[in-house]
Amino acid sequence: MALVEGASPQDLLDKAIKAYPNDKVLQCCLEMAPFTGVESYRVGLSAILAKGKLEESDAMSMMLIQTEKDLSTQQFEQFLEVLKKHPEQYEKLRKQIGQLTEFLDKIEEMI
């Protein structure tokens, strides 16, 4: 919520590391915020407020929003370096990208 309201990702990360040193998912999300932008977090926050949780379909929506963001090759490499520091999240993203690819392939077949 703080990111959506305009808080600094770095300030939030510093506070999260102190307050929640074992919450690697939170730390990963905050480290990726400069690359992902606020829009995907806005979608996630809306889902949480509406349903009380994030579902896989919400994660897909968040990923689709990222495709609209124009990252340079260097920014994408930096994004991957951050993500690789969090192996569980890296593997989840790889799985979600695979699912998204399958979904888009099905849509392409229909067109």
Instruction: Determine the straight-line distance between the first and last CA of the chain, rounded to whole angstroms.
Output: 38
Give the predicted TM-score (pTM) of the model: 0.64
Question: For 26-76, what is each residue's pLDDT tens digit?
Answer: 888 888 888 777 888 888 888 888 998 877 777 767 766 766 666 678 877
Per-residue confidence (pLDDT) for residue 68, from 0 to 100: 63
Cα separation, 21 vs 10, in Å, equals: 15
Q: Which of 47, 18, 41 is nearest to 29 (CA)?
A: 41
Cα separation, 13 vs 90, in Å, equals: 18
Question: For 71-98, what is each residue's pLDDT tens digit?
Answer: 678 877 888 888 888 888 888 888 888 9
Distance, C-alpha 48 to centroid of its chain: 14
65 vs 110, higher pLDDT:
110
